Amino acid sequence: MSEEVTIARTTARDDISPAAQVRRATFVLVGSAVLGALALPWLSTSYATTLAIEIMIAAIFASGINLLVGTTGLVSLGQGMFLGLGGYGIGIGTTVLGLPLWLSVPATLVLVATLAAAIGAVCTRTRGVEFLLITLAFSQMFYGAAIKLRLTNGSDGMSGIPRPDLGLLGLNADSPVVFYYYILLVTMLAVAAVWRIAESPFGSVLAAIRESERRAAAMGYAVSSYKVGAFVVAAVTCAVAGILQSQYTYFINPDSMSWQLSGEGVLMVIIGSTTAVAGPLVGAAVFVLAKQGLSVLTTEYMLFFGIFFMLVVAFFRNGVVEAFKSAFRSKP
């Protein structure tokens, strides 16, 4: 009888599909990552905690970009514009207008969504390289405005941007550990929200637009409206990253709106994966860690980072996450 049970269990294990095995492994890895993130401030140095904060902020930014690049098939070089608008929004709201942070944050997100709807209505009339260039043009326009306007304090940027007041909870957000958990909470909520949108019927239509815009239109979907909707959600997500970034450094300047920053976000998505939920998070981690590691070794780290990126693209064509999945499926 025991031999029959053993054979049945072995057969059941063998019958598990590769997709189910990947889901199980992903669940284990995600669970381990969450537990590791919760324990990190108590098990590592303050430098590691700082790197983790930078990775999480970058992951939110990359998640917003991936909703356009991976889900909708629209490659943008203008998402840094919305990250900068998020930081400048709460900076102007709190330090110039004297508004409380709890009011400045939602007002900033509403303003970003409104601007993104207007900009998206123009940009999404194009596709391919034209879309990339027009988003770049809008980004440079706002970058120039941030440098010239007195309201933004020009190229000197704005300082004194506050962190949330957690006094009612008996906590101080200026504490590195408390601020780390604040960033972790927002990151989990933001990534989960983007994932839920991508997996919703709305996200399914965006994927259909990515595969064939004409076919999606022939099926009766208002393609232009869906693309603008994706543009708005991506912009708001990037603005959340900008808000957190400005609170992390207590500072925002025009460099946060540069096209280079947008390009770095696209690199994170490509390194991680455009087809996996964890892609932006993994890509952000690889990008930040590689950049920090190389900057310690040499002042010409950008040259070597370019070589590193080329190697990643050459050997992990669909991203690190998809390479992991493929390796797991190929196991006997």
Domain boundaries, the chain: 51-257
CA-atom Rg of the chain in angstroms: 21
- What pLDDT shows up at residue 327? 64
pLDDT in tens, 134-146: 999 999 999 999 9
pLDDT in tens, 79-91: 999 999 999 999 9
pLDDT in tens, 154-181: 889 999 999 998 888 889 999 999 999 9
Beta bridge partners of 251: 159
pTM check: above 0.75: yes
* Concatenated DSSP letters of 162-177: PPP--GGGT--TTSHH
Q: How confident is the model at residue 332 (pLDDT cuts 50, 70, 90)?
A: low
- What pLDDT shows up at residue 200? 93
What Å distances lie between residue 153 and 80, 145, 186, CA to CA? 19, 11, 28
Residue 186 · residue 196 · CB < 8 Å: no
Residue 96 · residue 325 · CB < 8 Å: no
DSSP secondary-structure letter at 274? Answer: S
Whether the predicted pLDDT of 18 surpasses 70: no
pLDDT in tens, 208-266: 999 989 999 999 999 999 999 999 999 999 999 999 999 999 999 999 898 889 989 99
- What pLDDT shows up at residue 189? 94
| Backbone CA torsion sign across 189, 91, 79, 110 | positive
Rounded Cα gap, residues 167 and 253, in angstroms: 28
Q: Which residue has the higher pLDDT, 184 or 332?
A: 184
- What pLDDT shows up at residue 330? 58
Rounded Cα gap, residues 143 and 88, in angstroms: 12
Mean pLDDT, range 8-18, rounded to an integer: 51
Q: How confident is the model at residue 8 (pLDDT cuts 50, 70, 90)?
A: very low
3-state secondary structure 45-114: CHHHHHHHHHHHHHHHHHHHHHHHHHHHCCCCCCHHHHHHHHHHHHHHHHHHCCCCHHHHHHHHHHHHHH
Q: Which residue has the higher pLDDT, 169 or 57?
A: 57
- What pLDDT shows up at residue 3? 54
Residue 123's φ and ψ, nearest 5 degrees, are -65, -40
